[in-house]
Copies of this chain bind each other. A is one copy, B any other.
Amino acid sequence: MSDSQQLAEACRDALKQDDGLIDHLGISIDSVSPGCAQVSMQIQNWMTNGHGTCHGGIIFSLADSAFAFACNSENEPNVAASVAIEYLNAAHKGERLTAKASRTTQRGRTGVYDIRIENQAGDLIALFRGKSHRLNGTILPD
């Protein structure tokens, strides 16, 4: 395993620790690599409205999780500065959603990441574009 891959996995472990949301939503971290991450989640009953359609905030949260693992994969701490999300298709109770994040560009302290959210049939549910802002310090203790 390359050093950069090992670092990405160590950062993932540090981020997961003491995080309340990942477990609460039942998010599985499928893979991380430098600048990239993939997570997935099954849509539970409480995540839907009266018509069984998944709330936008839940889809956003899943994508945001992929975004966080991707932009924190190189031991430099980054936070979300802004996000734009486009909803393309509805997602429903019981479906499994996957969010794939990859870095589109990094310039100074600002990164742009693109995340695709699909259901298990490969339908595109949403497109999420996040801008990250790099903080000082490191993710891992020296």
Contact = CB atoms under 8 A, between A and B. Distances in A.
Interface of A: 15, 17-21, 23-24, 44-50, 55-58, 60-62, 64-65, 79-89, 104-105, 107, 110, 112, 124, 127, 129, 131
A57 B23 CA distance: 14
Main secondary structure of the interface of A (DSSP, over half): mixed
Instruction: Count copies of this chain in the complex.
Output: 4
13 contacts: A18-B49, A19-B49, A20-B44, A20-B49, A21-B48, A21-B55, A21-B58, A56-B64, A56-B80, A83-B84, A104-B127, A105-B124, A107-B124
Contacts of A85: 82-84
A110 B124 CA distance: 13
A89 B61 contact: no
